[in-house]
A and B are shown apart, each in its own frame.
Chain A
């Protein structure tokens, strides 16, 4: 279908508008956080968190199938609550594995291993539970509350309603608000995790704040891009912006620009060519990243990082 024909009737135009509005909230939230994710090398944790959303979706699907209630099924309050809980738990769990080696010197497992374990365990659990939920719903005669595989893995932004827009906007306000309030200690800690506590910055609190924000952003990002691609939104805008600038405010602004640009272009392409929106959005951002890389090579971008000698 041609892109412009979506605007012939309100019903189809609304489809695009809600997708854009919800997507914009998600993308702005993720773009801002992605700067910290890239700088603190949390990309793999982001990956782990987004995949743990799958486990949450599975648990919610079983609850939905067992009760048969609409509010408990796909897109309902229960699903959101369960997934958020799963993701925050996963984020804090993985972050604590990462810091366990500090004072006690006894790190139970390596960080990568821990995240890798979490990721596959949650994926496997989610997969089984979604299957089980379908079977359960059938046996009980309830409507099937479980999402389609496609929507879990690659997102379903075009099914977003105004309720989803409202939730995404609320989370955006919350994220930006908390980040703004904590910006000085958060930035100090993020810049120098080793020294900041010696200056009185509450390191554990800052880590928790960042992980909770990351989890919330990831949950909303799974709506847009699915479990598989959500973490792309938490990496690509920041990585692209950092190739172009070394000034804090311009990096943040560029990151948001890349995120929103990727959303608009990706969504347009997906509607025009009748493709899945999630992958289109992510690929648009990848294109921006590659372009930024070339721009940087040409010598017009940010100064290359100092060679590691210290």
Chain B
């Protein structure tokens, strides 16, 4: 305990006034340096999971730890770097890419001080890692979608984050951009060893850059039979969002297995939980099975 980068224990969350919980009894752990993809249909509770990990929603039931700290503490120390689902930022702001990254690295700097040398070094490194150095002096609003995403990843890294959290990173990015994104993420991971948590409804997107994939749907636990879960069954479970999961059946080397509540996962050892479905992407970097 405490060694996990991110740990969820029996977490249940219900939005105020909602008839049913968005998340129920979720147990999940991400090891330091691991790249975990969380896969699920729209409305399956993925964004809720992220908001809980970021401390943007209060923990109602269960326990969440980020490097042994509460999400709010981890956030306070800048351990989590967040890249949002769509770019909600006001891109018309008269800010350069460097200024945007500097805001994340140095917003805590006392107002009477200039940005410190360490913060500047972090900004330079983050821009370099994401290949955004050449864009540094461009106005943020003048970038393409892919370039903006690079800037946003640079911003997330500039806080010296130990966990990089990406919400639906490939929405609206074309095939070539997806390839570039996967390469960018691999570069960042190699250079920093940062833990990466990606949330998406697109398995193809996740499998490309993750060591492990966890499936999440609010009611998944009540529908899963412990044995015999095949990609086809999985697709049926997600039937209200088949389009987003079209990659499951056809994706070579993806192995799906499941286990019931409180049963140890046959492949990953003692990580039991009601939502105990794990899809393991074989053949992806670091994803080798015993």
Contact = CB atoms under 8 A, between A and B. Distances in A.
Contacts of A180: 111
Nearest to B92: A305
Contacts of B148: 310
B88 A198 contact: no
B197 interface: no
B228 interface: no
B57 A103 contact: yes
A185 interface: yes
Contact of B91 (A181, A190, A305): A305
A184 B93 contact: no
B190 to A, nearest CB: 24
Interface in B101-156: 103-104, 106-109, 111, 139, 141-145, 148, 152
Contact of A39 (B54, B75, B93): B93
B269 interface: no
Contacts, number: 110
Q: Give the interface size bracket for B toward A.
A: 35 or more
B139 A185 contact: no
Contact of A104 (B15, B91, B108, B109): B15
A112 interface: no
Given A183-B111, A184-B109, A191 B95 contact: yes
Task: Tell which of B16, B86, B106, B107 has the most Cβ of chain A within 10 Å.
Answer: B107
A139 interface: no
B113 to A, nearest CB: 10
Given A105-B17, A200-B75, A306 B91 contact: yes
Contacts of B144: 306
A303 B139 contact: yes
A5 interface: no
Nearest to A199: B104
Nearest to B55: A198
A188 B84 CA distance: 14
Contact of B87 (A39, A40, A302, A310): A310
B56 interface: yes
Interface in A172-209: 180-185, 187-188, 190-195, 197-201
Contacts of B106: 184
A85 interface: no
A305 to B, nearest CB: 5
A239 B262 CA distance: 59
Interface in A149-176: none
A185 B107 contact: yes
Given A184-B107, A188-B103, A200-B76, A103 B15 contact: yes
A306 B82 contact: no
A195 B88 contact: yes
B266 interface: no
16 contacts: A39-B93, A104-B17, A106-B16, A184-B107, A185-B107, A191-B89, A191-B95, A192-B90, A198-B82, A198-B165, A199-B81, A199-B82, A246-B141, A247-B139, A306-B142, A310-B172
Which 8 pairs between the two chains have the least Cβ-Cβ distance? Answer: A198-B82, A194-B88, A192-B89, A246-B139, A188-B103, A184-B107, A251-B94, A181-B111
